[in-house]
């Protein structure tokens, strides 16, 4: 016996509703795609790059890609569909010169189009617009350039409320390992092509060895962020990846640089 047309239509509608509900549930439960993070591992990097890689390993949703200057020059940031580029500690000048004009332009274009950049120590020097090898991602002057080799050791950094929220700590002051990172200050000039940065943490204590003067480092910026074009820039002058208990700062900074709203 043939079913009435009304019942056939009702069953068809019910099947569509059930199929839509199942699809919606699958979409809601779907795991987000892993962040693709490029770690610069070429000339000018030090052993701390492996500590950065290790800290990123704590975030199970990060896919790490190691890149050389030649990779970046050849368009690797776009070809590998990278979300965030990290430049670790070492030598900012050597990293910048290894990238060359072509590589530095590739990084700037990558960030401008919506990519993220995170720099640690040397990578923070690299992000400034204070050297001819700089990336010019933040409008920042390096205070007391003459005494850049001012020593290594633990220093105290005071975090802003935004800094504490973003980095996931309730502590207003944290002790971080310092290894001659840049003392970021506001430049006397105003570069309309380079965005101002927001200070998320300032040095409260200082390192003044090797002839560096006392009273200069304190109150300069230790942690900064900025927006560049459609992308984001995050800079650590000190080394959370080399500090016991602060490795989680690394993936949180990377998440913010990726554009994640939850990392605001």
Q: What is the DSSP string of 123-178?
A: HHHHHSSSSTT----S--EETTGGG----EEEEEEEEPHHHHHHHT---SEEEEEE
Alpha-carbon distance of 122 to 147, in angstroms, equals 15
Q: Domain extents for the chain?
A: 32-143+181-199+219-263
Please write the tens of the pLDDT for every residue from 31-43: 457 899 999 999 9
Report the mean per-residue pLDDT for the chain. Answer: 90
Q: What is the pTM of this model?
A: 0.87
Q: At the top level of CATH, which class does the domain 32-143+181-199+219-263 belong to?
A: alpha beta
As given in the structure block, the two tokens for residue 93 are: 């000048």
As given in the structure block, the two tokens for residue 195 are: 């965005």
Residue 122's H or E segment, with its range, is helix 122-127
Bridge-based pairing of strands 84-87 and 184-185 is unpaired
CA dist 23 to 20, 132, 202, Å?
Answer: 5, 53, 49
Determine the pLDDT at residue 162.
98
Determine the pLDDT at residue 28.
43
Determine the pLDDT at residue 24.
44
């Amino acid at each position: 016996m043939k079913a009435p047309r009304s019942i056939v239509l009702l069953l068809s509608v019910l099947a569509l509703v059930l199929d839509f509900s199942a699809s919606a549930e699958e979409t809601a439960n779907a795991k987000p795609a892993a962040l693709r993070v490029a770690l610069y591992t070429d000339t000018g990097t030090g052993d701390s790059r492996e500590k950065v890689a290790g800290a990123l390993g704590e975030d199970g949703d990060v896919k790490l890609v190691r890149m050389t200057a030649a990779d970046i020059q050849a368009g690797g940031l776009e070809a590998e569909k990278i979300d965030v580029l990290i430049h670790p500690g070492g030598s900012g000048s050597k990293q910048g010169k290894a990238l060359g004009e072509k590589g530095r332009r590739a990084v700037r274009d990558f960030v401008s189009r919506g990519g993220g950049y995170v720099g640690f120590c040397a990578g923070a020097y690299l992000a400034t617009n204070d050297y001819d090898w700089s990336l010019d991602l933040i409008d920042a002057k390096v205070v007391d350039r003459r005494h850049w080799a001012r020593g290594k050791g633990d220093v105290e950094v005071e975090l802003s409320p935004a800094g504490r929220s973003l980095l996931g700590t309730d502590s207003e002051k944290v002790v971080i390992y310092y290894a001659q990172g840049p003392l970021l200050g506001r430049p006397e000039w105003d570069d309309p092509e380079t965005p101002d940065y927001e200070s998320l943490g300032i040095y409260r204590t200082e390192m003044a060895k090797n002839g560096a003067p006392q009273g200069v480092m304190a109150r300069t910026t230790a942690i900064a962020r900025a927006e560049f074009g459609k992308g984001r820039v995050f800079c650590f002058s000190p080394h959370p990846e080399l500090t016991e208990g602060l490795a989680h700062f690394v993936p949180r900074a990377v998440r913010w640089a990726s554009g994640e709203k939850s990392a605001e």
